[in-house]
Amino acid sequence: MESVIHDAEDIVDPKAAQAAVSTGRLPSDEAVRAALSRVHRRFRDDRGGKVADYIPVLAEADPELFGIALAHVGGSLHAVGDAEHLFSIQSVSKAFVFALVDQELGHHTVRRRIGVNSTGLPFDSVLAVELNHGSPMNPMVNAGALATAALAPGDSPEERWEFVRRGLSRFAGRELRLDQRVYASEAATNQRNESIARLLDSYGVLARDPATTTDLYTRQCSLAVCVRDLAVMGATLANGGVNPLTGDRVVSPGVCRDTLAALATSGLYERSGDWLYEVGMPGKSGVSGGIVTVAPGKGSIAAFSPRLDPAGNSVRGQRVTHYLSGALGLDLFASTPHPGSGG
């Protein structure tokens, strides 16, 4: 499968990207605002990709919607385009539910019970479970996200749902609500996820029964967010677990780095390697068109545009983030020689 990123390479001026190599801080608010407007203009007319249609209600999304937000760990928030438009969080929820469960159970337990290696197969692969002898493999594919949801604490389905909803709301800094239409549409066409949950259960690796686990996972995917919410959620992971807008400590610094490490290997489905190679930061995408990307210690970029590549990643979202990574000096792997080191 071709990456949609590399054919957009010419948009990053290599000199500017080098000058903006990570200094440990984001550029000024003014420079960030200018970069957001520039990149929004640059990709406004990009019509690459296709809106997801395997969940009926997702096919109704307006493909022209396009919003970008950037949240700084210092608390400033910049947005451009359709930044208030609500959409279902879908797979982006996996990152944050994993963080909440890691916070409850700890680094080693989640690694043992869920795993952190990529599968190289699509997000909803049944074959991946079979090939890996019942291992859910990682929290960002559906098998791993179901295994993660099954570990949510609580004595009843309602309590476990509240744990997830409340936890994701704390990441976002506002009360998030279920999109009932998305939930109903997804619940009615969820046979594949039900099958994955049952298969995991047959291997004895699902902590709760498959039906309530699938329902909890479907609910978490149906939470309504806007691109600003995603940026604040990502910035909480960039900020050692403290929401930079509310000051609420949501998870520990160790949980943030666990989550970002898991995203680095598998946040963009089977294109995660291409993503890390081009963008140089952990990110998580979802089939409704959202992508959240985290620059640890600096902030988070969120993009929303419903047209997807064949793996399920927003096309404009990838291109925008690639541009901003270079323009704002966010690539974690970029460096320049130390002044005293010669060269």
Tokens in use for 319? 């291109």
The beta strand positions in the chain, using DSSP E, are 50-51, 67-72, 77-81, 87-88, 177-178, 223-225, 283-285, 290-295, 299-304, 307-308
DSSP letters, 144-157, are HHHHHHHT---SSH
Minimum CB–partner distance for residue 134 and ligand GLU (Å): 19
Please give the backbone phi and psi of residue 71, each rounded to the nearest 5 degrees, phi first: -110, 135
Binding mask 99-128 for ligand GLU (x = CB under 6 A): ------------------------xx----
Residues 130-149 that bind ligand GLU (CB under 6 A): 142
Minimum CB–partner distance for residue 51 and ligand GLU (Å): 13
Minimum CB–partner distance for residue 132 and ligand GLU (Å): 19
How far is residue 226's CA from residue 249's CA, in Å, rounded to a whole number? 22
Q: Interface with ligand GLU includes 287 (CB under 6 A)? A: yes
Minimum CB–partner distance for residue 126 and ligand GLU (Å): 12
323 annotated as ligand-binding: no
Site for ligand GLU (CB under 6 A): which residue of 91, 118, 214, 321?
A: 91
The residue whose two tokens read 């279902």 is 88
142 annotated as ligand-binding: yes
Q: Interface with ligand GLU includes 309 (CB under 6 A)? A: no
Minimum CB–partner distance for residue 53 and ligand GLU (Å): 12
Site for ligand GLU (CB under 6 A): which residue of 186, 270, 309, 331?
A: 186
Q: Interface with ligand GLU includes 49 (CB under 6 A)? A: no
Q: Please count the other Cβ atoms lying within 10 Å of the Cβ belonging to residue 219.
A: 22
From the list 242, 262, 244, 260, the residue with the least C-alpha distance to 252 is 242
CB 196 within 8 A of CB 126: yes
In the complex, the residues that contact ligand GLU under the rule CB under 6 A are 90-91, 123-124, 142, 186, 193, 221, 286-287, 312
